[in-house]
Amino acid sequence: MIIYIAVFVYFTGFISNALSQGEYSELELMKSYHDYELLESFYNYDKNGVPVNYPFQLEFSFLDVKNYVRFYLYNKNDHNDRIELKINDTSPLRLPQYWKPGAPVKIFIHGYVGNSTVPQMEMLKNKLLERNEGLNVIALDYGPLAHKLYPIAAHYSEDVGKIGSQLIDFLIENGAKTTDFHVIGLSLGAHIAGFVGYNVKSGKIARVTALDAPTIGFIIVGKHGRVDKDDAEFVDCIHTCSGTASFMEHMCHADFYPNGGKSPQPGCGTGVTAMGCSHVRSQDYFTESAEKGHLFYALTCQELTKDGPNDCVDEGALMGYPADQKLQGIFYVETGSKYPFSNTHTTV
């Protein structure tokens, strides 16, 4: 267990550098976990079976999660402009440059050690807005919580998701429909996206997209303790580091396994750092798929083995943004090693 967590710490350090362009070094992230002894104390019990105390224990009981979560609604005309959207405050919904009644709503959620303004989240936001479809684009930002120790961030992921579901219920009360909503989450944000969808009281939302949902902290919790096909009318998952950092299981309506779904993904090199690169590739692929003319054609497969999808045929399925909820099951996708990653890209 300790070795596995240590590998995850190293790999999240790589992600942190990739997402924040050097804002957080691997050494700084390692220091934030203190040392292996502290990690071990998190899982150990004394001779009487009582959990061993640890310095951050109180944070599991007393964090007021709503203080760590913000929502931002983006300007359709100026993609660098956004306004904070608060539950029960309808004033932003009366500003046409930010909110278009009746339009589809895309909510994106960052991963661990991230926030809504790291480069890859900015790129996703821009690709969504550049489609010129009048989309309502919202960021769910839990950045301060995402920079706490991973066990704490994972522990509170369901609470973050429930706050997200409250926002959706609020928007539905003010004219939106459940069919308008598509929630997209990367890494830890993938599970949060599932919790958002599952806890909406107004009905089942249209879609949840989970980008390489991690296993650590979510292996033994059951389907309602992680992202699952029950979370929306259509749940699609993209697996790019499965079997190590993320789930290999077929747990969504449509599970896509680019290049077999494992690390290293093409262009990610080898070794431990390849895990971080492969993990983030899930968002690279999805973001590109939102670009018009960049299609990721997928093969429909009959079974999922320990080596990946098997017995696959072409039935016209697409991975990512344009995925068709009528086509469900297990899918294999081949990608390039650098942008454009898509296997069919044209200028539209």
Which residues are identified as catalytic? 187, 212, 279
Q: Exposure of 32 by Cβ count < 10 A (0-12 exposed, 13-18 middle, 19+ buried)? A: middle
CA 52 to chain CA centroid, Å, is: 32
Query: Please, what is the end-to-end C-alpha distance for the chain in angstroms?
Result: 49
Look at residues 214, 238, 277 and name the one whose alpha carbon lies nearest to residue 18: 277
Angle at 131 between CA 128 and CA 133, to 5 degrees: 100
Q: Exposure of 326 by Cβ count < 10 A (0-12 exposed, 13-18 middle, 19+ buried)? A: exposed
Cα distance between residue 99 and residue 94, in whole Å = 7
The DSSP secondary structure of 14-74, one letter per residue, reads: HHHHHHHTTSS-HHHHHHHT--HHHHHHHH-B-TTSPBPP-TTTTHHHH--GGGG-EEEEE
Q: Contacts from 299-305 at CB under 8 Å and sequence distance 24+?
A: 299/331, 299/332, 299/333, 300/327, 300/329, 300/330, 300/331, 301/329, 301/330, 301/331, 301/332, 302/330, 303/330, 304/248, 304/249, 304/250, 304/255, 304/257, 304/330
Query: How many Cβ atoms from other residues are within 10 Å of residue 328's Cβ?
Result: 18
